[in-house]
A = this chain, B = another copy of it.
Amino acid sequence: SRLEESVKKTVNDNAVVVYSKTWCSYSSEVKSLFKRLGVEPLVIELDELGPQGPQLQKVLERITGQHTVPNVFIGGKHIGGCTDTVKLYRKGELDPLLVEANAK
């Protein structure tokens, strides 16, 4: 679908993309992790898009199998949510992904 193509384009054209909700603490946590790492992700707040928000979430679920927020992509690759991103960071595996995606 058109929306699916636009999501794929967004995640491929930006080094780091975070689909988020403004009032969700897990979304805030992953946004502040990137900030601390000096990375400026493209942040899309799904609760600020009106009816497109739930539609985008459905597309994300179709593409990634994940219906929850935050939904993180690095270098066009689906990473997962907050716990997935933090786990990679703790294992030292987030940095290489960020460098490879030219985010740092």
The reply to whether the CB of A25 lies closer than 8 angstroms to some CB of chain B is yes
The reply to whether the CB of A26 lies closer than 8 angstroms to some CB of chain B is yes
The reply to whether the CB of A82 lies closer than 8 angstroms to some CB of chain B is yes
Number of interface residues of A (CB under 8 A): 6
Taking the nearest CB of chain B, how far is it from the CB of A33, in angstroms? 15
Q: Hey, what's the 0/1 contact readout for A75-94 against B, CB within 8 Å counting as 1?
A: 00000001000000000000
Instruction: Give A83's nearest chain B residue, CB to CB.
Output: B25
Which residues does chain B contribute within 8 Å of A23, judged by CB atoms? Answer: 68
Instruction: Give A81's nearest chain B residue, CB to CB.
Output: B25
Residues facing B in A13-72 (CB within 8 A) are 23-26, 68
